[in-house]
Amino acid sequence: MISERIAEVRENIERAARRSGRTPDQVRLMVVTKEVPIDKMRSAIAAGAVLLGENRVQSAREKVEELGREGLQWHLIGNLQKNKVKYVFDLFDRIDSVDSVALAEAIDKRATQLGVVMPVLLQINISGEESKFGLQPEELEKALDATRDMKGIRVEGFMTIPPMDPDPQHARPYFSALRELRDKYAKMDKNILLNELSMGMSSDYAVAIEEGATLVRVGTSIFGSRSR
Ligand SMILES: *Cc1c(COP(=O)(O)O)cnc(C)c1O
């Protein structure tokens, strides 16, 4: 039952938050609905899912057409190509996967034309793996300098995906490294608010919360494994 699994995840979130001296309302649950059919999404929404993560523009469009945007928050969590930027404004409340200054510029340009501000997270490749999208930590200062002047976007924080590893404890150093980066830049520049730390997935969200996650992205623990 999807509702039971969501309840279970919420309990785990609550426990992890309390364990680390935080209150449960400091951690939001993103229900990752990529590759999940509409009927299962409806069950999740009926069970209280509000914040939804999709990784592709095209599939998000089909789902937004079915489910609407009212009462829901749609976030893009997958790689966005610049030629698709024009579509995101009708679909998403935030782009959580901005992985280059060039992409930030493209979103800013379109947003400015539309007269809106698009909230974003910068995706950081904290492990430096070649296969991963994201800004390298060394690029971050320049990226923040560049995005600070963009009127069409608002950087709300960072997102990361640590290396795949069955042992969640192995993800801990990556999570704490992201938190330290956030703290460093939040301190350096009082004009930017870097509140959000999106980190932790089904296998490791409890550890991520212990390390300061404000948003965890959970798919498999709610919907079961995605068939490939
Ligand atoms: C698929 C995905 C998730 C969810 O992963 P699960 O292991 O299924 O919980 C989280 N974040 C991103 C960026 C994803 O692509």
Q: What's the pLDDT tens digit per position in 141-200?
A: 999 999 999 999 999 999 999 999 999 999 999 999 999 999 999 888 766 778 999 999
Q: Is the CB of 202 under 6 A from ligand 1?
A: yes
Burial code (b: 16+ CB inside 10 Å, e: under 16) for 204-223 equals bbbbbbbbbbbbbbbbebbb
* 160, burial (CB in 10 Å: exposed 0-12, middle 13-18, buried 19+): buried
Mutate to test the pocket of ligand 1, among 9, 32, 175 (most ligand atoms within 8 A of CB): 32
Q: Which residue, among 95, 112, 2, has the nearest Cα to 56 in the 3D structure?
A: 95
| CATH ID of 2-221, from 3.20.20.10, 3.10.580.10, 3.40.190.10, 3.40.50.920 | 3.20.20.10
Q: What is the mean pLDDT of residues 39-64?
A: 98
Q: How confident is the model at residue 130 (pLDDT cuts 50, 70, 90)?
A: confident
What is the Cα–Cα distance from 121 to 95, expressed in whole angstroms?
6
pLDDT in tens, 1-25: 999 999 999 999 999 999 999 999 9
Q: Give the separation between CA 153 and CA 147, rounded to whole angstroms.
A: 8
Quick check: 41 pLDDT over 90?
Answer: yes
Interval between CA 87 and ligand 1 midpoint (Å): 22
- 149 CA to middle of ligand 1, Å? 31
Percent of the chain beyond pLDDT 90? 92
pLDDT of residue 191: 66
Measured from the CB, is residue 79 less than 6 Å from ligand 1? no
Q: Structure pTM?
A: 0.96
Q: How confident is the model at residue 27 (pLDDT cuts 50, 70, 90)?
A: very high
**For the chain, what is the mean pLDDT?**
96
So what's the pLDDT on residue 131?
85
First vs last C-alpha separation in the chain: 22
Task: Please tell me the predicted confidence (pLDDT) of residue 72.
Answer: 98
**Residue 13, Cβ neighbours under 10 Å: how many?**
22
